[in-house]
Structure 1
Amino acid sequence: MTHTTLVTSIDESTGKTAITLALAQLAREGGESVSYMKPKGTRLQSNVGKTMDDDPMLARELLGLDAEMHEMEPIVYSPTFVEQAIRGREDPEELRDTVAERFDSIAADADHVFVEGGGSLTTGGIVDLTDDQIADIIDARVVLVATYERPSDADDIIAAADRLGDRLDGVVFNLVADANFDALETDVVPFLEGRGITVYGVLPRDRDLAGVTVGELAEELAADVVTDVPTDGYVERFSVGAMGADEALRHFRRTKDAAVITGGDRADIHTAALEAPGVRCLILTGGHRPSGSVVGKAADKGVPILLVQTDTLTTVDRAEKVVRSGRTRDAETVATMRSLLADHADVDGLIGH
């Protein structure tokens, strides 16, 4: 009989891909034949979904799978698909049948299928294909990936547990900052376990998984890089330049591995940011090109300038999602996640042994 584990998360960008593939590798090393599926492809390079999600491609490579992309990822959950679904041009019943058929095909020769959820737990609701609904279709046990910053985050976990019901096998916390580790392990984990929710592990935030390079950030934001300097520096946080220049300089000097996001017309802020040693790049919003002197100074300091068309608030929101997810997904990322799971989680429990 085939075992099926679906890995979902409360929010987007929580490390689902790395966790799903790391667990699949560990199960395979334990003697199981494994396969992979991501019913809803959500990591797309184009609105119409012509470019496939990278995650199944990585799964094929790391797990040595023969399945075709359209089998592993039957629904391309692109903005165009969503628009068509809202207009009633997608049939939820047909989509459910497609998911079930593809799953049966993928599961035919596998002891254990690892299924990656799409986006967040509720992604797919417009076509009745949220992750809990998919778990029902394919009869999967569910591992919930969560992050933790404050005690009230437990509300979301309780709500997700209620939604998943008996399908929920347990929770893994990922990307947990050092400052939040003790409160989570001392207070929140026992609280959740007292409510009947198993916590399989608390994984610390790892530099290799948490940060993204300036180049990756530029790609994800569709930014125009206006400087000719290396873009391999790491960004872990953002600083918004919305204050006076003197205050900005004091603020920027206290930060490290930061990208400063500010309007392209704020030359005073650009100059202040370029004086601070912890600033890895400038992200200038609103499509305003900086002055030649700012570009020249940035080139001298080796600090890339990224130009985006969106406003500052939208840019901050998008950039934070990118950094939260540590967008690089490759063999090295999965290897790092395997080490984290081995050190900080009950791997046998997660695999269902």
Structure 2
Amino acid sequence: MTHTTLVTSIQESTGKTAITLALGLLAQDGDETVGYMKPKGTRLQSNVGKTLDEDPMLAREVLGTDAEMHQMEPVVYSPTFIEQAIRGREDPDELREIVAEQFEALAADTDHMFVEGGGSLTTGGIIELTDDEIAELIDARVVLVATYEQPGDVDDVLAAADRLGDRLDGVVFNLVGEGDHDELENDVVPFLEGRGVPVHGIVPRKQDLAGVTVGDLADELAAEVVTDVPTDEFVERFSVGAMGADEALRHFRRTRDAAVITGGDRSDIHTAALEAPGIKCLILTGGHRPPGAVVGKAADKGVPILLVRTDTLTTVDRAEEVVRSGRTRDAETVEAMRELLADHADVEGLLGH
């Protein structure tokens, strides 16, 4: 009898892929044969006319499975597909049947199937295939991945738990900042468990999993690096320098692990950014070279300057995409997550043992 675990999340970008695959590795450590499926492909990159989701491709590499892509990802949940579904050109019953068939085929020779949800718990409602509906269809127990920044986030956890009902096996809090850990452990977890929602782990935010290095960012943005300083600092967020210099300095001082994106001709903003300790690099747009004094000051402070030809808005979009898809998409990240779960979660509970 195959054991099935579906990993879902309240919102996107919570580390769901890394957790799903790390659980697969942990199950393999326990000598289980493992399969993977992501019924709705949502992280799409167009690939020679076929749209492939990056997560099943990573699953093949990490878990060593030789399943076909169309089995692992039976529904390509692309913008075009969604438009067609809204126009009534996709039959939910037919799609359910396809998902069930492919699941059966993949589960046939495995001890434990790991099924990754769509973008979030409610993705797929248009075709009546939200993650809770999929769990029902393939008889899965569900692990819910949540993040935590403030007590109000518990509302979302309770709503998701309510929706999943008896299928919910437990919650894993991921990407938890140091400052939030104690509140979660001492107040939130006992509260949730008192409401019948088990918590299987509190996984800390690890910077090398949460951000990208300045060097990686430069490569991805095809930027010219005009300073000769190390580029191994991590960037997690971006600050756009579009205000006056005094206001910019106040704003930059409040942010950490950030890159400032601004026009190459705004030397007042460049100077303000170089005064703030949390700014890890400057990304200057529009192909303008900054004045020599700015480059000299950046070199003294050890802050890299990246030069790109695109305008500020395009650069912000691309940079955020790089950080969002970040490092969670490689085997190294999954390995790091396996260790984090082993240290900070009840692995036996998560695997349903």
TM-score w.r.t. structure 2 length?
0.87
Pair 1:105–1:16, CA change in 2 (3 A): same
Change (3 A) 1:152 1:294: farther
Aligned to 1:304: 306
Q: CA deviation at 1:327?
A: 3.7
Partner Cα distance (1:296, 1:74) in 2: 56
Answering whether residue 184 of structure 2 is matched by residue 184 of structure 1, we say yes
Q: Contact 2:263/2:312 (CA < 8 Å) preserved in 1?
A: no
Give the structure 1 partner of residue 337 of structure 2.
337
Distance 1:9 1:295 in 2: 48
Equivalence for 2:200 = 200
For the residue of structure 1 that corresponds to 2:114, the secondary structure is strand
Cα 1:245–1:194 shift into 2, 3 Å:
same
Aligned to 2:288: 291
State the SS of the aligned residue for 2:142.
Answer: strand
* Most deviating of 78-87 and 246-255: 246-255
Q: What do the CA deviations read for 1:299-327 (whole angstroms, capped 9, x no partner)?
A: 97432245655749x947x8667646644
How far has the Cα of 1:249 moved from its partner?
A: 3.4
Amino acid at match of 1:149: E
Cross-structure match for 1:225: 223
Q: Deviations over 1:19-66 (max 9, x none)?
A: 111111111111211110011111122499734222111111121111
**Could you tell me how far apart the structure 2 residues matched to 1:52 and 1:216 are?**
24
- Tell me the C-alpha RMSD between the 2 structures: 3.0
Q: Distance in 2 between matches of 1:253 and 1:134?
A: 46
**Pairwise CA distance, 1:328:** 3.6
Residue 157 of structure 1: CA displacement?
A: 0.4
Deviations 1:44-102 (A, max 9, x none): 22499734222111111121111111111111222222222222222222211111111
- The structure-2 alpha-carbon separation of the partners of 1:306 and 1:76, relative to structure 1 and needing over 3 Å to count, comes to farther
Aligned residue type for 2:268: D
The answer for unaligned runs of 5 or more in structure 2 is none
Counterpart contact for 2:289–2:307, Cα < 8 Å: no
**1:193 & 1:29 partners in 2: Cα distance?**
29
Following TM superposition, by how much is the alpha carbon of 1:238 offset from its aligned partner in structure 2, in angstroms?
A: 2.9
* Deviation (angstroms), 1:118: 1.3
- CA offsets 1:102-126 (integer angstroms, 9 cap, x no match): 1011000001100011111111111
- Distance change in 2, residues 1:24/1:168 (3 Å): same
**What one-letter code is carried by the residue in structure 2 that aligns with 1:18?**
A
**Given the superposition, is the C-alpha separation of residues 303 and 310 from structure 1 closer, same or farther in structure 2, using an over 3 Å criterion?**
closer
Matches within 5 A, 1:123-134: 123-134=123-134
Within 5 Å, give how 1:95-244 maps onto structure 2: 95-214=95-214, 223=221, 225=223, 227=225, 233-244=233-244
Give the partner amino acid of 2:223: V
CA distance in structure 2 between the partners assigned to 1:296 and 1:58 by the alignment = 45
2:7·2:116 contact (CA, 8 Å) conserved in 1? yes
SS in structure 1 of the partner of residue 44 of structure 2: coil
Give per-residue Cα distances to partners, 1:257-291, cap 9 Å, x unaligned.
3111446774532443355564333456xxx6153
Distance (Å, rounded) in 2 between the aligned partners of 1:215 and 1:90: 44
Pairing 1:29–2:26 present = no
**Could you say if the C-alpha distance between residues 158 and 333 of structure 1 is closer, same or farther in structure 2, counting changes exceeding 3 Å?**
same
Q: Secondary structure at the match of 2:45?
A: coil
Q: Which amino acid aligns with 1:9?
A: S
CA distance in 2, matches of 1:39, 1:177: 31
Query: Which runs of 4 or more aligned residues in structure 1 lie more than 6 Å from their structure 2 counterparts after TM superposition?
Result: 228-231
Cα distance between partner residues in 2 of 1:11 and 1:52: 21
SS in 1 for 2:82: helix
One-letter amino acid matched to 1:114:
F
- CA apart distance, 1:348: 0.2
Q: Residues 240-260 of structure 1, C-alpha deviation per residue, up to 9 Å, x if partnerless?
A: 434321342354356543111
Query: Following superposition of structure 1 onto structure 2, how do residues 3-42 of structure 1 map, counting pairs within 5 Å?
Result: 3-42=3-42
* 3-state SS of paired residue (1:293): coil
Letter in 2 for 1:175: L
Taking the aligned partners of 1:133 and 1:172, their CA distance within structure 2 comes to: 21
Is the alpha carbon distance of 1:319 and 1:132 closer, same or farther for their aligned partners in structure 2, counting shifts above 3 Å?
Answer: farther
Q: Work out whether residues 218 and 224 of structure 2, in 8 Å CA contact, stay in contact via their aligned partners in 1.
A: no
The alignment covers a number of residue pairs equal to 346
Counterpart in the other structure of 2:56 = 56
Amino acid paired to 2:112? H
Describe the superposition over 1:151-200 as per-residue Cα deviations: whole angstroms up to 9, x where unpaired: 00000001101111111110000000001111111111111000000000
How far off is 1:295 after superposition?
9.7
Q: What TM-score, normalized by structure 1, do the two folds share?
A: 0.87
**Structure 1 residue 236: deviation in Å?**
2.0
Hey, what's the Cα distance between the residues in 2 that align with 1:294 and 1:46?
A: 41
The aligned runs of 1:244-259 (5 Å cut-off) are 244-249=244-249, 251-252=251-252, 255-259=255-259
